[in-house]
Amino acid sequence: MSRHHVLDASPKTCHWGYLDAALKPVLSVQSDDTVTVHCLSGGHPELPGAPYTVLPEHREVIDNIVHKFGPHILTGPIEIAGAEPGDVLEVKIEAIQLRQDWGWNQMWPLKGSLPEDFPQHRLLHLPIDRNAMTTRMPWGTVVPLRPFFGILAVAPKPVYGTVSSVEPREFGGNMDNKEFVPGTSLLLPVWTKGALFSAGDGHAVQGDGEVNLTALETALTGTFKFALHKKRGLRYPRALTPTHYITMGMDPDLDDAAKMALRDMIKVLGELHGLAPVDAYAFCSLACDLHVTQLVDGNKGVHAMVARSLFEGGRPRSAAEMAGARD
């Protein structure tokens, strides 16, 4: 029987700036269990003063955990019983809630997409209206919010050791994909025993590209349902949203990231709908959209999107089918 768990953000349940297969799990669950995960965002310099409210556990966490490499505070890892390398972890995003009345956007010298044009540091605190689901820019423009988690990750391969939370890779991580909204199933290849899932890097809203370095960073709560798919051939993250198939590419070279995403979409169309590669390639030229996920995290991201409605007039495809062929 499936169970529901709650994982609070605390010094005992958070790690800051890194991922590592050697991290001990802070919670163990079964496949088909659901976990509500509370997350935080920002270190001491990012905390605002009045009139904003800082969550009571936020200072306790950043005062008492070790900060390594990246800026992201992650909650986890969560162990999924029975997960082994070669499996696929399906992370069904059931709900996302904003936790606070503010967020922050930051740029730094030598970082972002245009460092030669903007060689300065700037930190903006922006209000979050959780009733209206909007924020207001300092000059008055109102922006609708669309919260999502920038980081959803399993542990990296053990041989990697400790890795920064900044660069997204085959274990997921800092993908910054704004399409990962409630109703989405994210499919992550498992690289170590227990999978060891972590979440964080809450974004209240972000444009594709995340061009000046950050989105509107904020604290989120996510509710995730886990399902384990045994012995699949998946080597890179995929997603099934309520409306689209998504494949991912990540590489320092944007062209190579686009090729990765496109090649995997061609493979998905063959696996799900029997298209020959040459037919899927032609179809993608007509009906597959390539989006720049983000430009600022070392490994640039591209995601390919195909509307499910073009194929699913009959039987809708499941996340289990998109998890890759069995080994």
Closest CA to 258 of 246, 248, 268: 248
pLDDT at 327: 66
Question: 243-313: same fold as 4-229?
Answer: no
Ordered by start, the domain boundaries in the chain are: 4-229, 243-313
DSSP 120: S
What integer pLDDT is reported at residue 313 of this predicted model?
83
The CATH code belonging to domain 243-313 is 3.10.28.20
Q: pLDDT tens across 118-155, in order?
A: 999 999 999 999 999 999 999 999 999 999 999 999 99
| Average per-residue pLDDT for the chain | 97
pLDDT of 262 above 80:
yes
Per-residue b/e over 32-47, b at no fewer than 16 CB within 10 Å? ebbbbbbbbbbeeebb
Quick one: fold of 4-229? Jelly Rolls (2.60.120)
Integer-rounded Cα radius of gyration of the chain: 19
Strands 4-7 and 34-38 turn out to be parallel
**What integer pLDDT is reported at residue 303 of this predicted model?**
98
User: For residue range 231-252, what is the model confidence (pLDDT) as tens digits?
Assistant: 998 999 999 999 999 999 999 9
For 197-236, how does the pLDDT look when each residue is reduced to its tens digit (9 = 90+)?
Answer: 999 999 999 999 999 999 999 999 999 999 999 999 899 9
Which residue type sits at 208? Answer: D
pLDDT at 314 over 90: no
- Per-residue pLDDT of 73-88, as tens digits, reads 999 999 999 999 999 9
Does the pTM surpass 0.85? The reply is yes
52 CB burial (10 A radius; 0-12, 13-18, 19+)? middle
The residues, ordered by sequence, that sit 6+ positions from 92 with a Cβ below 8 Å of its Cβ are: 184, 185, 224, 225, 226, 227, 319
Write down the pLDDT at residue 169: 98
